Amino acid sequence: MTDTSARAYLENAVLTASPVRLVVMLYDHALLKLRTARAAIAARDPKTYGPAINTASAVLSELQGSLNHEAGGEIATSLEAIYRFAQAELTRANLRKEAERIDAVIRMLTPLREAWEQLSRRAA
C-alpha cells in the first residue's frame, strides 16, 4: 500500500468511526508510541524516544480534553487523574530516560484501552 493510500485509508477510518471507536484508536496510537519510545530508550536513540513520548503525551491530553465531567461524573474524574499521572510519568521518563516509567504507563493504559474496546464492540 502506498503512503497516499495508507493515509486515505486512515483518514476514512477516522472520519467514519464512532466516538467510542475514536477513543480506542487514540489509545492504540498512544500505546504504539509508548512501545516505540521504550525500544528507543533501550537503543539509546533520543531522536526517536523524545518525539514518541511527546506524541503519546499529546494523545493523553486529547483524551483528557474529551472527557465530559457532567455526563461522566466520577469516572471522568478518575480518568482525568490517570491521564495527568501518566503525563507526569512520561515527562519524568523523557527527562531521565527511564523505560520503567513508560512500562508503568503502558500497564495503566492497556486495561483502559481494552475496556473501551469492549464498549465499542457492544455499541456496534
Q: Is residue 7 part of a domain?
A: no
Domain annotation covers residue 100: yes
Q: Answer whether residue 8 is part of any domain.
A: no
pLDDT at 5: 52
The parent domain of residue 85 ranges over 19-123
When pLDDT is averaged across residues 61-82 and rounded to a whole number, the result is: 95
| Mean pLDDT score, 40-63 | 96
Q: What mean pLDDT comes out for the span 92-105? A: 96
Alpha helices in 17-98 (DSSP H): 19-42, 46-65, 69-96
- Confidence band of 6 (pLDDT split at 50, 70, 90): very low
If one counts the domains in the chain, the total is 1
Is 2 part of any domain? no
pLDDT per residue over 75-96, tens digit each? 999 999 999 999 999 999 999 9
**Residue 108 within a domain:** yes
DSSP codes of every residue in 2-30: -HHHHHHHHHHHHHH--HHHHHHHHHHHH
State the pLDDT at residue 11. Answer: 53
Does residue 12 sit within a domain?
no
pLDDT surpassing 80 at residue 10: no
Distance CA 108, CA 54 (A): 17
Q: Could you give the angle at which helices 99-123 and 19-42 cross, rounded to 10 degrees?
A: 160
Phi first, then psi: give them for residue 72, nearest 5 degrees.
-90, -20
Higher pLDDT residue, 13 or 63?
Answer: 63
- Residue 57 belongs to domain with CATH number: 1.20.120.340
Residue 116 counted as domain residue = yes
